[in-house]
Amino acid sequence: MNRSNKYLKTFAITYLIFLYAPALLLPIFSFNSSQIIAFPLSGFTTGWFKALLYQETLHEALRNSLIVAASSSIFATILGILASRAASRYYFPGKQFSLTFILAPLVLPEIIVGVSLLIVLIQLGLPLNLWSVVLGHTLLIMPFSILIMNSAFNNLDISLEEASLDLGETPLGTFRRIILPLVYPGIMASLLLGFTLSLDEFIIAFFLTGTETTLPVYIWSLFRFPKQLPATMALGTILIFVSLILLSLGEYFRRRAAKTQTSVL
Amino acid sequence: MGKLVQVKNVFKSFGDVHAVNGVSLDIQEGQFYSLLGPSGCGKTTLLRLIAGFEKPTSGQVFIDNTSMDGIEPNLRPTNMVFQNYAIFPHLNVEENVAYGLRNKREKRSDQNKLVDEALELVGLSGLNKRSANALSGGQKQRVALARALILKPKVLLLDEPLSALDKKLREQMQSELRHLQRAVGITFILVTHDQYEALTMSDRVAVMFDGKVAQEASPRDLYELPNSQKVASFIGEMTFIKGEIVSENKNLQVQSEIFGKINIEKSRVFGQSSKKMVLGIRPEKIAIVPKTSRSKDLISGKIIDVSYFGETTNYKVSCGTTETLTISSQNSVGQLSYSVGEEIQLKADMNNIIAFSI
């Protein structure tokens, strides 16, 4: 037992290093004063971060990314709420089939999703702009939203809704006063996770974006200019921390959702 | 006092399952009415039909002479206490109790007064701000009651409200519920599978099997005059003995191995009288008498099994035939106890025998 435990421990540590070491290089080089990304480090600077403040195109890309991330996470969450509500309360033919199918974007390669969406949009004669990216990202995030909202709704005891109706509240009032407050942690978790996924997404955004680029697409374009590389590292550092914060918040809400609902019983 | 709730020939099917299969009931105003039956007999479905959570496949429910067809649960003059209490976990006691007042447009100060009164009624005074998650099972039950009663419904529906409580608390709540019902004067309809609960609490009981009402009567009649073997053995215990009709005039004369030839009043005969009948007697209607007693209708037998229940002891007695009698004997002062194998004499109260057709 001790022996296998030791191997398991070694494996886990190696795995974590493999996973996070490259990401740790970002903050290290973003504070390095040399333009060349290589060891040994030459000196400490915060200049690359300051440089970010003066890049108009970066601000543009950031603004675009925020719009896309906010819109697509909201759309996906609304769709997720509706789908899981239907799945948990109503019976209709082909329910299991459609529930399985609706999660398909989870396993489809993003490049396939991106290319096929591009073809569809062009065939329909629709312009490529931020909203086409929002469409793609909504599609990408929706399975995650559905999974999160499904667990929130499945844990919701139906007799609470019945009790509310029984006490004279309308169906709409019941949704507002009982259902929403009880699935609210799930909604927050879905919004935060969706926001993070969209903010980091590159492939679909690359295919569907028109002249307005999102942040990851903008970063990718920067690689043509080696001089910009340290500033890109600085930007990456900021993005890593923002993502981590959003994910931890999302996880906090997801756990809170699980907690409030187990205590119902 | 008039008919408050009328169920008229109601059917309810879920696919192939006929949960409620032609039920008609009249429930008087101010009554404590119980729907009693084993699980799956349709009693909860019937309650939910009255509350409006289910719609009848056919038939109608009337409350206060108004048809409830198409009337949603939130607009019915009924309130329900759910089996799991359904206390809103994100609201405190006070918010739970005041939940239904929101739509009644009461003034804030009046609301507070009503909440305090309701909490006092159920014995939870001062717990206004307690979180729903910090309540015990018994307290949740009381909050559920207060939350429903505060709206002064015409009918309070209770879906197995005591089944989740432990025995002591359950018995305490049974008597409290009974007192509460008398105090507020609201019609209570209770669903339960516990026959003692139904007998002790109700003014009237409807026994249901397989989606149908098997018998509707007062608790006493239900126990003393069950109209079928099924009802008789669901409510308490009864021994059944085979018998044959000897003659039939004002009374029914039935011959059986154990009891010999006895007369049974027509009011105690249920079902079509045919040649063969089944005689039923409750275990406590048979007494063990001293061996020295002499009387012509004594039955002699031998104890083959003893079950001790504390306040009572049940004996299984073989009377020299293929059939056995069950006797329940109070372990009161001076009562002798007997052991397996002992020869005893029995006296059955022949006036308490019921005859059922096979």
Interchain contact A181–B (C-beta under 8 A):
yes
Interface contact flag, B86 A160, Cβ < 8 Å: yes
* Helix axis angle, A229-262 to A2-30, nearest 10°: 130
Interface contact flag, A168 B53, Cβ < 8 Å: no
Interface contact flag, B80 A165, Cβ < 8 Å: no
Task: Sort out which chain A residues have CB atoms less than 8 A from B104's CB and list them.
Answer: 168
In sequence order, the β-bridge partners of residue B5 are B27, B63
> Which CATH number belongs to the domain containing residue A162 in this structure?
1.10.3720.10
pLDDT at B138: 87
Residue A264: band (very low, low, confident or very high) from pLDDT cuts 50, 70, 90: very low
Looking from the CA of B308 toward its CB, the CA atoms found within 13 Å total 7
pTM: 0.80
In sequence order, the β-bridge partners of residue B356 are B270, B278
Interchain contact A256–B (C-beta under 8 A):
no
List the structure tokens of B38. Answer: 């084993």
Mean pLDDT of A137-145: 91
- Over residues B189-236, the pLDDT tens digits come to 999 999 999 999 999 999 999 999 999 999 999 999 999 999 999 998
pLDDT-wise least confident of A199-203, B100-104, B223-227, B258-262: B100-104
Q: What is the DSSP string of B255-292?
A: EETTTEEEEEEGGGEES---SEEEEEE-GGGEEEE-TT
In a domain, A136, yes or no: yes
Mean pLDDT of B34-44: 93
pLDDT at A113: 86
Distance (Å) from the alpha carbon of A247 to chain B's nearest alpha carbon: 25
Q: Is the pLDDT of residue A72 over 90?
A: yes
pLDDT at B221: 93
Mean pLDDT of B162-191: 89
pLDDT at A68: 93
pLDDT at A226: 75
Task: Sort out which chain A residues have CB atoms less than 8 A from B72's CB and list them.
Answer: 165
Percent of chain A with pLDDT over 90: 21
Task: Sort out which chain B residues have CB atoms less than 8 A from A260's CB and list them.
Answer: 89-90
Mutate to test the interface with B, among A165, A166, A174, A183 (most CBs of B within 10 A): A166
Place of tokens 């939870």: B124
In sequence order, the β-bridge partners of residue B264 are B252
Percent of chain B with pLDDT over 90: 53
Report how far apart, in Å, the C-alpha atoms of B107 and of each of A163, A169, B6 are: 23, 18, 35
Mean pLDDT of B97-123: 85
Q: d(Cα A181, Cα A158) in Å, to the nearest integer?
A: 14
Q: d(Cα B290, Cα A219) in Å, to the nearest integer?
A: 104
Nearest residue of chain A to residue B102 (CA atoms): A169
Provide the greatest CA pair distance for chain B. 78
Average pLDDT of chain B to the nearest whole number = 89
Q: Is the pLDDT of residue A261 over 70?
A: no
pLDDT at B215: 94
Distance (Å) from the alpha carbon of A23 to chain B's nearest alpha carbon: 41
Closest CA to B25 of B14, B12, B34: B34
| Number of domains chain A contains | 1
Sheet with B286-289, edge to edge strand ranges: B286-289, B343-348, B299-308, B312-318, B324-330
In a domain, A21, yes or no: no
- Name the amino acid, one letter, at A225: F
In a domain, A234, yes or no: yes
Task: Sort out which chain A residues have CB atoms less than 8 A from B151's CB and list them.
Answer: 167-168
Nearest residue of chain B to residue A180 (CA atoms): B90
Residue A257: band (very low, low, confident or very high) from pLDDT cuts 50, 70, 90: low
Task: Sort out which chain A residues have CB atoms less than 8 A from B84's CB and list them.
Answer: 157, 159, 265
Interface contact flag, A164 B78, Cβ < 8 Å: no
Interfacial residues of B (vs A; Cβ cutoff 8 Å): 51, 53, 72-75, 78-80, 82-84, 86, 88-90, 99-100, 102-104, 133, 147-148, 151
Q: What are phi and psi of A203, to 5 degrees?
A: -60, -55
Mean pLDDT of B259-283: 86
Mean pLDDT of B125-151: 90
Mean pLDDT of B335-348: 86
Q: Is the pLDDT of residue A2 over 80?
A: no
Instruction: Give me the domain span that covers residue A194.
Output: 48-264
- Name the amino acid, one letter, at B124: L
CB B27 within 8 A of CB B34: no
Q: d(Cα A12, Cα B42) in Å, to the nearest integer?
A: 56
- Over residues B284-324, the pLDDT tens digits come to 999 888 877 777 778 888 999 999 988 899 999 998 788 88
Interface contact flag, B103 A169, Cβ < 8 Å: yes
Q: d(Cα A127, Cα B37) in Å, to the nearest integer?
A: 67
Q: Is the pLDDT of residue A48 over 80?
A: no
- Name the amino acid, one letter, at B187: T
Place of tokens 């169920």: B7
Better-scored residue on pLDDT, A95 or B43: B43
Nearest to A260 among B53, B82, B89 (CB): B89
In a domain, A38, yes or no: no
The 3-state secondary structure of B315-357 reads EEEECCCCCEEEEEEECCCCCCCCCCCCEEEEEECHHHCEEEE
Q: How many CB atoms lie within 10 A of CB A254?
A: 20
In a domain, A13, yes or no: no
In a domain, A30, yes or no: no
Mutate to test the interface with A, among B84, B88, B131 (most CBs of A within 10 A): B88
Residue A263: band (very low, low, confident or very high) from pLDDT cuts 50, 70, 90: very low
Better-scored residue on pLDDT, B334 or A147: A147
Task: Sort out which chain B residues have CB atoms less than 8 A from A160's CB and list them.
Answer: 86, 88-89
Residue B1: band (very low, low, confident or very high) from pLDDT cuts 50, 70, 90: low
Interface contact flag, B84 A157, Cβ < 8 Å: yes
List the structure tokens of A142. Answer: 């929706």
Interface contact flag, B74 A168, Cβ < 8 Å: yes
Q: d(Cα B259, Cα B87) in Å, to the nearest integer?
A: 56
Task: Sort out which chain B residues have CB atoms less than 8 A from A263's CB and list them.
Answer: 89, 133
Which long-range CB contacts under 8 A does A183-187 form with residues at least 24 apart?
A183/A81, A183/A149, A183/A152, A183/A153, A183/A156, A183/A257, A185/A152, A185/A253, A185/A254, A185/A256, A185/A257, A185/A260, A186/A148, A186/A149, A186/A151, A186/A152, A186/A153, A186/A253, A186/A254, A186/A257, A187/A77, A187/A81, A187/A149, A187/A152
- Provide the ipTM: 0.82
pLDDT-wise least confident of A37-46, A100-109, A148-157: A37-46
Task: Sort out which chain B residues have CB atoms less than 8 A from A171's CB and list them.
Answer: 74
Q: d(Cα B161, Cα B146) in Å, to the nearest integer?
A: 13
Q: How many CB atoms lie within 10 A of CB B52?
A: 22
Q: d(Cα B231, Cα B164) in Å, to the nearest integer?
A: 25
Report how far apart, in Å, the C-alpha atoms of B336 and of each of A129, B177, B321, B333, B345 are: 96, 38, 25, 9, 13
Contacts of A238 (CB under 8 A, 6+ apart): A49, A52
Mean pLDDT of B258-265: 86
pLDDT at B156: 95
Report how far apart, in Å, the C-alpha atoms of A96 and of each of A90, A92, A99, A142, A193 are: 12, 9, 5, 17, 25
Nearest to B90 among A157, A166, A260 (CB): A260
Interchain contact A258–B (C-beta under 8 A):
no
Interchain contact A257–B (C-beta under 8 A):
no
Nearest to B79 among A166, A169, A171 (CB): A166
Closest CA to A239 of A194, A203, A188, A197: A197
Interface contact flag, B103 A173, Cβ < 8 Å: yes
pLDDT at A39: 74
In a domain, A97, yes or no: yes
Closest CA to B181 of B30, B79, B329: B30
Looking from the CA of A52 toward its CB, the CA atoms found within 13 Å total 21
Distance (Å) from the alpha carbon of A93 to chain B's nearest alpha carbon: 14
Nearest residue of chain B to residue A183 (CA atoms): B90
Distance (Å) from the alpha carbon of B315 to chain A's nearest alpha carbon: 43
Interface contact flag, B84 A159, Cβ < 8 Å: yes
In a domain, A36, yes or no: no
Handedness of CA A64, A69, A74, A76 (dihedral sign): positive
pLDDT at B273: 67
